[in-house]
Amino acid sequence: MDSFSKSATFYDQYDHVQSESARELMKWVSGKTFSHVRELGCGTGKHTVSLLHASQATHLLAIDRSADMIEYAKLHHSHPKISYRCQSFESTDLSLEEQLIFSNASLQWSCNLERVLTRLCAQKQSSCWFLASLFGPETFKELAVSLRSVLGAPVNLPSASFYSDIQLYQVSKDLFSDLDFYQEKRIRVFPTVTDLFKSIKYTGTKGRGIAEKKIWTRHFLEKLDTAYRHRYGDIAVTYQVFYIRAR
């Protein structure tokens, strides 16, 4: 998460897909009233004020494990009804007042997603809604294939470890009595592979251990760009997004 923390000032320039999923979630929130809201993984706070207004909340507690993101949110997206707190998903405790738990494109990074969801479900009131979007394992699948063809070896991007639709649905179905689950695949085209990597870096989706840093030369990136276009026609990337609405 270190590189993600350092990217706070750039995140909002590159979070196109995250903004789209936030708008999708917000459609359901708008027109309803939730007095107390908990946001898990608020990032820079870009969507937190919008969530406050959409939910008509009297208080919104937004948490994120990145101290830099929380400081940025406090500086750029402060509001009398919003409290920002540096805290992980795993350690957050719900109050009895929460009426909505909201999380956009964040929970896939949980160390143990099933444990986090189980804990939240055990703590929340039966009337409290849980609304979330999460990335799935098909995210960046074109990049993984292109890297493998250039490196000549298997490549495990972090997204490969994300819950599949079947896994996430089953866990959610076991925990929630009222569940609406669906997915969509968004395609985004980048001008070059370099632009793709900038987006990955600044939105916190950068992987660990893909390869040693010394290979990321201009020559390698050009070779990867060529291989990518040869296979897919352009630098098109799939984002698999799951949506959960439950209580």
pLDDT in tens, 136-179: 999 999 999 999 999 998 888 999 999 999 999 999 999 998 99
| Confidence class for position 204, pLDDT limits 50, 70, 90 | low
Residue 118, pLDDT > 90, answer yes
pLDDT at residue 1 in the model: 44
Q: Are 61 and 39 in contact (CB under 8 A)?
A: yes
Q: Are 85 and 74 in contact (CB under 8 A)?
A: no
Unique residue bearing structure tokens 């444990």: 115
Tokens 């870009």, residue?
A: 46
Res. 5 pLDDT band, cuts 50 70 90 = very low
Q: Which residues contact 233 (CB under 8 A, 6 or more apart)?
A: none
How far apart are the C-alpha atoms of 246 and 127, rounded to whole Å? 10
Inter-helix orientation angle 165-175/113-123, to 10°: 20
Percent of the chain with pLDDT over 90: 82
CA pair distance 125, 139, nearest whole angstrom: 33
Q: Dihedral sign, CA of 141, 108, 58, 9?
A: negative
Which residue reads 């050009």 in tokens? Answer: 222
The pLDDT assigned to 11 comes to 60
- In this prediction, residue 101 carries a pLDDT of 98
List b or e across 151-165, with b for residues whose CB sees 16 or more CB atoms inside 10 angstroms: eeeebebbbeebbee
| DSSP structure class, residue 161 | G
Token readout for 54 is 């959409």
- For residue 16, the model assigns a pLDDT of 81
